[in-house]
Amino acid sequence: MNSTSITNNDEIELIELIKVLWNKKIWILLSAFICTLIAGVYAFTAKEQWTSKAEVIEPKISDLGEYFNIRKEYARILGQEFDANGLRKSLFDKFNLMSESLDTRETFFEQSDVYQQISGGKEEKAKRLILSDLITKDINITKPDPKKEPDLLGRRIKFIAETPIEAQETLQQFISFAGKEAYQLEVENFLIDFNEVLSDLTYEKTKFERDLAIQKKVQLENLNNALRIAQKADIKDYAKSFSSTSDNALQALAMSEVKLPLSDSKLSDGTYLFMLGEKYLKAQIDVLNQEAVVYPPKYYQVTAQLEELGPLLSKVKEAKANTFSYQASPDYPVVKDKPKKALIIVIGFIIGVILSTLIILFGLVFQNSRKE
């Protein structure tokens, strides 16, 4: 009996509540209209956001242009193995490094049209906040998870702007800027190695020339010293100065000693070399004075490398190459991220209905409590 009575009371209260809400329907609709109007104003005046997306991968061989031929020729001249895939990876790694660098982003956005447009007429603090948002929030670079996105090989880059064309063009400009900065870094690093190789080869060539010039000078000093002794001893012909058996050994010893520095040679005291005779010594001196220095094969190899590397160095400074390749170029967004106008208006209407209903219910509860 009591249970039935409670149920009937609940039904009566629910009916009374519905009647109250129905009687206040004008207020509910008015509240819903006002909230919907506010939501509509926000939806149509809020800053829009459009996102342009692009996917970049390692550059193809065709993207490397003349730089590919230069690196290949460089390796051939030095007798090194050329790794084309390694070069592609190195260039793309530098692109990723520069595109993710906050300094690179700051340099780009400071001179970009989008920053100039947004920050125009604002105070310095506001400009710094705008630039910070562009660098850290509006541009986004994602490295794909191989488990979730096995087909994505490179990087996905996004940029958010207030208009679709602005988003697309700014993203294109940023990727191009990062690519140029990456190539500049590649060239700088390569030129450091290039100039180091040139320096080493130049030193090696100079060392050959210096050492052989010193050797020739020592030979002439030894021969001239021996000639003076032979002239004083009146030895004209070495053949008359040696006996048949032992003289051959002395002759061989004298010839071997002539190439040593005078201070280190046994001939420095004139004991052996002068015995070759005035005629032979003069002939040797004349030949050394008239003929050029004979260099070893390695000297000519180094010289040839320097001659080939010289023109290649100027080509490096003029060459161009892309450090990335597009898997998908920056798209033109056709659906904006926000605001979602229809959704905002619906939410505004619902909030208006709920808010007015709660106010009416609280008012009803307050009136009932006062009656009691």
SS (H, E, C) 304-370: HHHHHHHHHHHHHHHCCCCCCEEEECCCCCCCCCECCHHHHHHHHHHHHHHHHHHHHHHHHHHHHHH
- Digitized pLDDT (tens) for each residue of the chain, 372 residues in all: 445 544 545 555 667 666 766 676 777 777 777 777 776 666 666 577 889 999 999 999 999 999 999 999 999 999 999 999 999 999 999 999 999 999 999 999 999 999 998 888 888 899 999 999 999 999 999 887 767 766 667 899 999 988 899 999 999 999 999 999 999 999 999 999 999 999 999 999 999 888 888 887 888 788 788 778 777 877 777 545 454 444 555 555 555 555 555 445 444 444 567 667 777 777 777 777 777 777 889 999 999 999 999 899 989 989 999 999 999 999 998 887 676 666 767 776 788 777 777 777 776 666 666 655
Nearest CA-CA partner of 160 in 120, 109, 110, 96: 109
Contact indicator for 247, 241 with CB cutoff of 8 Å? yes
Residue 286 burial (10 A CB sphere; 0-12, 13-18, 19+): exposed
Residue 17, pLDDT score: 65
Distance CA 330, CA 343 (A): 28
Contact indicator for 92, 131 with CB cutoff of 8 Å? no
Neighbours of 52 (CB within 10 A): 23
Distance CA 115, CA 107 (A): 11
> 176: which 2 tokens?
């191009």
Angle made by CA atoms 363, 368, 372, in degrees to the nearest 5: 150
Angle made by CA atoms 148, 150, 155, in degrees to the nearest 5: 90
DSSP result, 11-62: HHHHHHHHHHHHHTHHHHHHHHHHHHHHHHHHHHHSPPBEEEEEEEEPPPGG
Distance CA 188, CA 182 (A): 10
For residue 236, the surrounding DSSP H or E stretch is: none
Distance CA 278, CA 226 (A): 8
Q: Compute and round to an integer the Cα radius of gyration of the chain.
A: 45
Residue 289, pLDDT score: 72
β-pair partners for 55: 156, 328
Neighbours of 139 (CB within 10 A): 20
Distance CA 137, CA 95 (A): 20
Distance CA 284, CA 307 (A): 34
Distance CA 254, CA 231 (A): 17
Residue 367, pLDDT score: 65
Distance CA 273, CA 229 (A): 9
Residue 269, pLDDT score: 46
Q: What's 165-231 look like in SS3?
A: HHHHHHHHHHHHHHHHHHHHHHHHHHHHHHHHHHHHHHHHHHHHHHHHHHHHHHHHHHHHHHHHHHH
Residue 156, pLDDT score: 92
The amino acid occupying position 69 is: N
